[in-house]
Structure 1
């Protein structure tokens, strides 16, 4: 069983998938930092100094009555909140990751198309017998089906 597991793990597509998952996770961290630390602060400034990570609605107050200065304070008090800012950050993260994946897939498709156009087409290895219309080898001088002599 251990031998079979080792053979499964060492297959090329499993290793490729593992590398993709690790790179994807680290890329997700980079995109999260880009959104939280680079994109959202200027957008919040333009919208009147809104901190998107603290943009929430209180659905039910917690044990300590509000108002709460930050989302962490509301959660600590046990308030039920609708976290609109965190949702907006997550949506923007998704859009950026989807765009990046789209660009990578598009580039790979273009490279594959260029590779296919560079490959010469293989010469045909068969032809059709003019007498019986069966498929025969291109090197044949007599049809194996109808035994007709074929012209070169």
Structure 2
């Protein structure tokens, strides 16, 4: 049973999937960094310095005791963070669209190259020789 499990794990599909999952985690960090550290400051600049993540609707305030310790946390709808998520989705979607568009353009150029005509079969070569001999 252990040998079967090892054979299953060592198949190409499982290894490829494992690598893809690990790379997806790294790509997520890169995309999050790009949107939060590069794109969101630009968007904040063009919207007058607004930070959407601060927008919220407070349903109930935080309750503190006499010492200033929070006994009940604030209950709020954090719609600003949701707006940031939607902006991130639009940015990532546009970047992926451009990547796929470029890939398809490269793929189309490779497909457009005319393929060399197939070599004639042995029978066709033999028939051509017979035809040429008959012409003489």
TM over 0.5: yes
2:33 aligned partner: 33
1:79 aligned partner: 74
1:61 aligned partner: 61
Structure 1: gaps of 5 or more residues:
65-73, 124-138, 140-152
Q: What is the alpha-carbon distance in structure 2 between the residues aligned to residue 116 and residue 78 of structure 1?
A: 60
1:16 aligned partner: 16
Q: Secondary structure at the match of 2:59?
A: strand
Q: Secondary structure at the match of 1:50?
A: coil
TM-score by length of 1: 0.56
Give how far 1:26 is off: 1.2
2:84 aligned partner: 89
Q: What is the alpha-carbon distance in structure 2 between the residues aligned to residue 115 and residue 11 of structure 1?
A: 31
Residues 94-113 of structure 1 show CA distances to partners (whole Å, capped at 9, x for unaligned) of: 33334444455555556666
More helix by share: 2
Q: What is the alpha-carbon distance in structure 2 between the residues aligned to residue 8 and residue 119 of structure 1?
A: 42
Structure 2: gaps of 5 or more residues:
65-69, 124-136
Seen in structure 2, the aligned counterparts of structure 1 residues 5 and 97 have a Cα distance that, compared at 3 Å, is: farther
Equivalent residues, number: 121
